[in-house]
Amino acid sequence: MAILFPTDFSEQSVKTFGYALEFAKKLNVPITLIHVYHIPVMNPATIELGTNMVNEELLNANETAMENKLKQFKDSLQAQYANSYPDMVKVSGMVRMGLVGDEIMRTAEEINAKYIVIGVKQRNDLNRFLIGSSTMHIINKSKIPVITVPENFNQLSSVQKIAYATDITFNDNTIIIKLLDLAKLFNATVKCFHVHDSKLEIENSIIDDFIEQYRAEANQNLITFQLIDNLNVLDGIDYFVKENNIDLLCVLKQKHYWLDIFEKKITKHLVFNENVPMLIYHE
């Protein structure tokens, strides 16, 4: 088991690595760095001549260059965080050639990753588009939980308040139990909330049932449940996150969407516009 940390060698990756380190330390697992690069463009003339040896040499040289670059990056990260984390977890690295999202997900399953931790950019430029496309592909398809960390997030912040945007069905119990286990590692609180139309009074009784089910945890201030009255789901989530100074926002992507909140477009809005890290699970 490990944390998989995709990197493009950017300054954003350096900052996000600190967040991955914090999780690795709490979970007592190593970190695996991965850099995925595309197949280099071949000279059409050499392809027509059938000079496969030249192409293979180019591929090998490119792989060696990427491996060296990743090693330098890894050494730099460990040196930079050595003072903050004197008991550094084991950090290894690998390079893969192919489609970014597919290779990251395949590797995550191969190493039995606990989480995939990805930094996300919030600038409106081509680089964000490219990185955003790969990130959303991973979020939508990955069987491994994904943690996204926005570029303007304060990496020194500790995880004290974990919010879970629930659809208040008992299918949520699996996720709630996982979040309670995570919260215990960080000495944090889990705050479950549901954005709803206040006219739907039945949801009040459902929340009461959840509170009763987790009475022991609630009495220890480990978990809370709350309804947020708002017809706009995104506005309701944004309000709850800001009002409660949330450190980590968790959502569950599933086949039957709660007010369309987990449709791809809305999930993307949350990932790229919320200023807190997100933890995304799949059903």
**Please, are residues 31 and 90 in contact by the beta-carbon 8 Å criterion?**
yes
pLDDT number for residue 160? 95
CA dist., res. 224 & res. 220, Å (int):
10
Predicted confidence band of residue 156 (pLDDT cuts 50, 70, 90): low
- Which of 206, 226, 227, 230 lies closest to 218 in space, CA to CA? 226
Quick one: average pLDDT of 144-172?
Answer: 85
Decide which of 121 and 277 is more confident. 277
Burial of residue 213, with CB atoms counted within 10 A of its CB: 0-12 exposed, 13-18 middle, 19 or more buried: middle
Backbone torsions φ then ψ of 81, nearest 5 degrees? -100, 5
pLDDT of residue 128: 45
> Per-residue pLDDT for 270 more than 80?
no
- Residue 278: helix, strand or coil by DSSP? strand
Diameter of the chain measured on Cα atoms:
75
Minimum mean pLDDT range among 95-109, 128-142, 171-185, 250-264: 250-264
- As a whole number, mean pLDDT of residues 143-168 equals 87
What integer best gives the mean pLDDT of the chain? 85
Residue 260 has pLDDT above 50, yes or no: no
**Separation CA 132–CA 122 (nearest Å):** 9
Per-residue confidence (pLDDT) for residue 127, from 0 to 100? 46
Mean pLDDT of 148-164: 84
Q: What are phi and psi of 196, to 5 degrees?
A: -150, 170
Task: Compute how many other C-beta atoms are within 10 angstroms of the C-beta atom of residue 72.
Answer: 11
* pLDDT band of 12, cuts 50, 70, 90: confident
Q: Are the CB atoms for 136 and 166 separated by under 8 Å?
A: no
In tens, the pLDDT along 67-94 reads 999 999 999 999 999 988 888 899 999 9
pLDDT at 257 over 80: no
What superfamily in CATH does domain 161-282 come from? HUPs (3.40.50.620)
Tokens of 220: 């220890």
Give the H/E segment covering residue 149: strand 146-150
Q: CATH 3.40.50.620 spans which residues of the chain?
A: 2-150, 161-282
What is the model's pLDDT at position 265? Answer: 64
Residue pLDDT, tens place only, 109-153:
999 999 999 998 765 544 444 456 788 889 888 999 999 998 878
Query: What was the pLDDT predicted at 259?
Result: 43
How many residues appear in the chain? 283
Alpha-carbon span 230 to 280, nearest angstrom: 23
pLDDT the model gives residue 135: 87
List the one residue out of 277, 268, 8 whose CA is nearest residue 138: 268
Is the pLDDT assigned to residue 16 strictly greater than 50?
yes
Nearest to 238 by CA among 190, 278, 179: 278
pLDDT at 47 over 60: no
48 near 20, Cβ under 8 Å? Answer: no
For residue 50, what pLDDT is reported?
Answer: 54
Pick the CATH number of 2-150 from 3.40.50.2000, 2.60.40.10, 3.40.50.620, 3.40.605.10: 3.40.50.620
Residues 233 and 148 sit within 8 Å (Cβ to Cβ): no
Which pLDDT score, from 0 to 100, does residue 200 have? 65
Q: What percent of the chain has pLDDT over 90?
A: 55
DSSP 281: E
Give the pLDDT confidence of 192-239 residue by residue, as tens digits: 999 887 666 777 888 888 999 999 999 999 999 999 998 888 889 999
Q: Per the confidence metrics, is the pTM higher than 0.75?
A: yes
